[in-house]
Amino acid sequence: MRAKKTAKAKPVARAANHAFVSEVPDRIRRLINSSLEIDEVLNLSMHLMEKTVGATASSILIYDAETNQLKFYLATGDKKDILKVIRMPADQGVAGRSFQTKRTLLIPEAAKSPFFYNKVDEKSKFVTKNLIATPIEVKGKCIGVLEVLNKARGTFTSDDARSLKAISREISIAIENARLYDEVKRAYMDSMLNMAKAEKYRDGDTGLHIERCGAYAFALGPALGFSPKDLESLKLSMMMHDIGKVAIPDAVLLKPAKLDPAEWEIMQRHTSLGGEILGRGPHMKLALEIATCHHEKWNGSGYPQKIAGNQIPLSARLAAIIDVFDALSSRRPYKDPFPPEQVVSMLQEGSGSHFDPELVQLFISRIAEMREIYNTTTA
């Protein structure tokens, strides 16, 4: 249901004479240029925006092309958690109208507006009294809507609407920057993963070992405090743990017999070579620490740095267990898979010497799940 244009919504005039119009966007621009994560930038921007226009709540809705809906990406106020699961048709409500027309709408009395979509209020138990909605545009394309709701004193003004419009421009830059950053990060990670897979094929492996290593880490990550956002990165980083082997000569990597001391020294270099290949960009931190430290041992007898205990990054301590568990469970040209009970005993034997005891305990407490991952990701 789309309302006619006779409504009380007031498209906002062009003139800009509001004290905050340049000041607040400038502050948001500084936030964007800081090292904060995108959600932190947006949350801080929203609180700044609320303070600026005297709103009691605000939200950012993002368009989902698959469902043709607007979904609440971020919201403030006491109903923010409920709002996260609410979606609304992209052609309804004040937000929908703003999205479709790419115009800033000032609604002094929500209840009297023909655009008002009260189902969001019904579901969230929030009472919208007045609001402003303004489109978020990236390169001329509307990607969502920014809203402020319920002015603490009085009702929103045209100056408020102009401030919001200016803030929306900054927010759209933040969103676009984050999207581009994710794209670059993903492209970089993908190319690294392809190198890791190529190495595994060269090694005579089917590539499933690295798939499984990623899957174990993804399953265990939350118990180790990795946020949902970091889990994908942990998984990809775990899959690249042996990427340094691409730089190990075939004569050593593919030697069908035991390595002599000189060859073993060359083989051990795959850890530091992995670190060099991955580089030192901020988004490669996990991959770098895993590739470099996954052969370190809890008691300091590993390589390449012989660091011990908590000096070894948590991700690398996890990688050590995962790598050994999968190797022990798998067939190799020189050995059959060890029986599941023996694999558990061997991990327990390495607790406190090779492995972090707490992580061994966690891994074994989830052993059924780990075996399930092994069985479902094995050719």
Catalytic residues: 245
Query: What character string, x for contact with Fe ion (CB under 5 A) and - otherwise, covers 264-303?
Result: ----------------------------------------
Instruction: Provide, rounded to whole angstroms, the least separation between the CB of residue 167 and Fe ion.
Output: 49
Q: Which residue is nearest to Fe ion (CB)?
A: 242
Segment near Fe ion (CB under 5 A); pick from 109-117, 146-154, 207-215, 242-250:
242-250
CB 323 within 8 A of CB 294: yes
Place of tokens 């017999």: 257
Could you give phi then psi for residue 145, rounded to 5 degrees? Answer: -140, 140
Nearer to Fe ion, 74 or 328 (CB): 328
Measure Cα distances from 218 to 215, 235, 243 in Å.
Answer: 5, 5, 19
Considering only 3-11, 177-185, 207-215, 236-244, which stretch makes contact with Fe ion by CB under 5 A? 236-244
Instruction: Decide: helix, strand or coil at residue 147.
Output: strand
Cα separation, 348 vs 294, whole angstroms: 18
- The CB-of-325 to Fe ion minimum distance in angstroms stands at 14
Q: How many residues bind Fe ion (CB under 5 A)?
A: 1
For residue 154, what are the CA distances in angstroms to 165, 167, 208? Answer: 20, 21, 63
CB 244 to Fe ion: min, Å: 8
Q: Minimum distance between the CB of residue 85 and Fe ion, rounded to whole angstroms?
A: 42
> Using CA atoms, how far apart are residues 212 and 235, in angstroms rounded to an integer?
9
Of 250 and 341, the one with the shorter C-beta distance to Fe ion is: 250
Give SS3 for 346: helix
Q: Which of 159, 160, 199, 242 binds Fe ion (CB under 5 A)?
A: 242
Q: Report, in Å, the least distance between residue 215 CB and Fe ion.
A: 18
Q: Is 95 exposed, middle or buried (0-12, 13-18, 19+ CB in 10 A)?
A: buried
Considering only residues 116 through 145, tell me which ones interact with Fe ion, judged by CB under 5 A.
Answer: none
The sign of the dihedral angle between the CA atoms of 82, 86, 91, 96 is positive
Looking at 14-22, 234-242, 312-320, 328-336, which segment touches Fe ion (CB under 5 A)?
A: 234-242
Q: Which is nearer to Fe ion, 160 or 356 (CB)?
A: 356
199: contact with Fe ion by CB under 5 A: no
- DSSP designation for 55: E
Amino acid making up residue 107? I
Task: Look at the chain and count its residues.
Answer: 379
Beta carbon nearer to Fe ion, 199 or 242: 242
Binding stretches for Fe ion (CB under 5 A): 242
